[in-house]
Amino acid sequence: MDCRRSKHVTRHLCLTLCVLSSWSLVQEALGGGNNNKCWFPAIYNFGDSNSDTGAVSAAFTSVQPPNGETFFGTLSGRASDGRLIIDFITEELKLPYVSAYLNSVGSNYRHGANFATGGSSILPGGYSPFHLGLQVSQFIQFKSHTNILFNQLSDNGTDPPLKSGLPRPEEFSKAIYTIDIGQNDLAFGIQHGSMEQVRRSIPHILSQYSQSAQQLYNEGARVFWIHNTGPIGCLPYSYIYYEPKKGNIDANGCVKPHNELALEFNRQLKNQVFQLRKKLPLAKFTYVDVFKAKYQLISTAKSQGFVPPLEFCCGSFYGYHINCGKKAVVNGTVYGNPCKNPSQHVSWDGIHYSQAANQWIAKRILYGSFSDPPIPIGQACF
């Protein structure tokens, strides 16, 4: 519609119709022109160890077995016995498992890339150098370089094998962008300061989050699937190392002050998402309450066939601290052997979830029950 030539509607209404018309074209490009599912040719993920599929292994040191033993084997690069929630997302969207951006060996980026790195936070200066802003910068570089290379290969008039592993330039705007980060901002803050200091830092943390989302939008991202942070107070690690337990532990063994902090972070994150919707009207944002899904599993673990949620399968924090993937013999006692039945555990290593738990959570969040708006991921472009 040409608003300058319209004589039958007000300028305000005309502009509104122009925006709606533009969005309808975006929906059509994304596969939203029907009542079935969106077509996402690729997925680009940003986050921490909850969705890291090999970045820590590539950048620092290999994630050792028994990590990966249940599903992928010894070279999964994942802090779990098997699949992560991001893996179940790709399965639902019928996409290949997404390779870590930093993992140069044997990777195919035709259908997306994963920039999540274990230990990452939104703000710089936490456990990992790969904060969210750096991950977005990596994506921008990835997009630029792959576009140049794809066009160079296309100009040659042939389709060499290298080209088959590259994303198509026109598909970056049709992809889905998933973000799962923030847990380490809270955990690092709790470890190095007071609860009140962390609480006061949340607006600043989320302003950086918003800037990163804006950068992705400027690069063509239009569909965002955003996870809030989980109940960090329910991690066995939190319970073991939290000293003032009296009156601060709930019925499930979770550290209440830590969970309250996570809930406040999530409240402000949800508000931030609402503001992004207003600021970036051509984008679609789905806010996913992962906290609620994870806490539901933890509070009903026994009835769901799991052992008590504070029990974990791999590594040890009691008596002798040893991380999953390592072993030690102290005074004749062997530390580090994994449990025999990981699928019975909510927690894999005291910090990360087991494949069974990740699958349980994924089944709850992928179909809209914990989302705002309440839509399945397959319709996130509508």
User: What's the CATH number where 226 sits?
Assistant: 3.40.50
pLDDT given for residue 160 in this prediction: 76
Question: For a pLDDT cut of 70, what percent of the chain falls above it?
Answer: 90
pLDDT given for residue 105 in this prediction: 83
- The pLDDT tens digits for 314-344 are 998 877 889 999 988 888 888 888 999 999 9
> Does 340 reside within a domain?
no
Quote the domain boundaries for residue 107: 41-302+352-377
Is the pLDDT at 231 greater than 60? The verdict is yes
Asked if 347 contacts 301 with a C-beta cutoff of 8 angstroms, the reply is no
How long a stretch of residues is the chain? 382
- The pLDDT tens digits for 296-320 are 999 999 999 999 999 999 998 877 8
- Bridge partners of 227, per DSSP, are 180, 288
50-64, 126-140, 156-170, 188-202: segment of lowest average pLDDT: 156-170
> Does 326 reside within a domain?
no
Cis peptide before 376 (omega within 30 of 0): no
Question: For a pLDDT cut of 90, what percent of the chain falls above it?
Answer: 79
Distance CA 13, CA 77 (A): 52
> Does 10 reside within a domain?
no
74-83, 208-217, 357-366: segment of lowest average pLDDT: 74-83
pLDDT given for residue 196 in this prediction: 97
Confidence grade of residue 35 (pLDDT, cut at 50, 70, 90): low
Cis peptide before 66 (omega within 30 of 0): yes
- The pLDDT tens digits for 68-98 are 999 998 789 999 999 999 999 999 999 999 9
pLDDT given for residue 157 in this prediction: 66
Torsion over CA: 264, 265, 268, 269 (sign): negative
The pLDDT of 272-280, averaged and rounded, is 98
> Does 336 reside within a domain?
no
Is the pLDDT at 15 greater than 80? The verdict is no
The pLDDT of 268-287, averaged and rounded, is 98
Confidence grade of residue 144 (pLDDT, cut at 50, 70, 90): very high
Cβ contacts of 10 within 8 Å, gap of 6 or more: none
Task: Sort strands 333-335 and 328-330 into parallel, antiparallel or unpaired.
Answer: antiparallel
Structural domains in the chain (count): 1
Return the closest-CA partner of residue 325 out of 59, 33, 110, 80: 80
Q: What does 290-336 look like in DSSP terms, one character per residue?
A: HHHHHHHHHHTTTTTTPPPTT-BSSSB-SSS-B-TT--EEETTEEE-
Structure tokens, 42? 């690729």
The pTM assigned to this predicted structure is 0.90
pLDDT given for residue 31 in this prediction: 47
Q: Angle between the 355-365 and 290-299 helix axes, to the nearest 10 degrees?
A: 130
Asked if 111 contacts 96 with a C-beta cutoff of 8 angstroms, the reply is yes
pLDDT given for residue 334 in this prediction: 84
Is the pLDDT at 279 greater than 60? The verdict is yes
The pLDDT of 351-376, averaged and rounded, is 98
Structure tokens, 66? 């028994």
Exposed, middle or buried: residue 84 (CB in 10 Å: 0-12, 13-18, 19+)?
buried
Q: At residue 369, what are phi and psi to the nearest 5 degrees?
A: -65, -30
> Does 256 reside within a domain?
yes
Distance CA 167, CA 170 (A): 9
HSE-up of residue 156 (Cα within 13 Å, Cβ side): 11
Average pLDDT, the chain: 90
> Does 7 reside within a domain?
no
Distance CA 327, CA 320 (A): 11
> Does 13 reside within a domain?
no
pLDDT given for residue 239 in this prediction: 94
Confidence grade of residue 158 (pLDDT, cut at 50, 70, 90): low
> Does 3 reside within a domain?
no
Q: Which residues are tagged catalytic?
A: 49, 349, 352
